Amino acid sequence: MATLAQWKTTLKAANSSLTKMVDGNSINLTTAEYNATIDGWAQASFDKEVEDALIAGGGESANYAQYRRDAYPSIGDQLDMQYKDAVNSTTTWRDAIAAIKTKYAKPS
C-alpha cells in the first residue's frame, strides 16, 4: 500500500499541470491551487486504499499503527482537547483517541 507522500508523487508525475475553465477559457491552476488539488486527490486515494485494506482484513490491519498516526489530531490539538476536558469536565480527547483506536484496531 502506498503512503500519502507516494500518492502525491504519483499524482504529480501523472499530472504535471492542471487547468480550470474561467469565462470559457482554459487556464492553468496557480501553484497553490495545483498543490491543494493534488493533496486532495492523494488524501482521497490514500483513504480509499486504507478503507479497502481494512475491509479486506475484516476490519483489522497489520498497518494499524501507521493508520492511527495519520488519523490522530496534532499534538497541539490533543493538548488543547485535554485542557478543555480538564476545565469543562468532558472527555473529548479520550473519545477522539478511542474512536481512532476502534477504527484502526490492532490485529488480535
The predicted structure's pLDDT at residue 59? 62
Cell representation of residue 14: 501523472
Cell representation of residue 6: 507516494
Kindly state the helix (H) or strand (E) to which residue 71 belongs, with its residue range. helix 64-71
Which residue's entry shows cell 482537547? 81
CA separation for the pair 2, 10 (Å, rounded): 10
What pTM does this model have? 0.54
CA separation for the pair 108, 105 (Å, rounded): 9
Interval 58-93: pLDDT, tens: 666 667 787 788 889 999 999 999 999 999 999 999
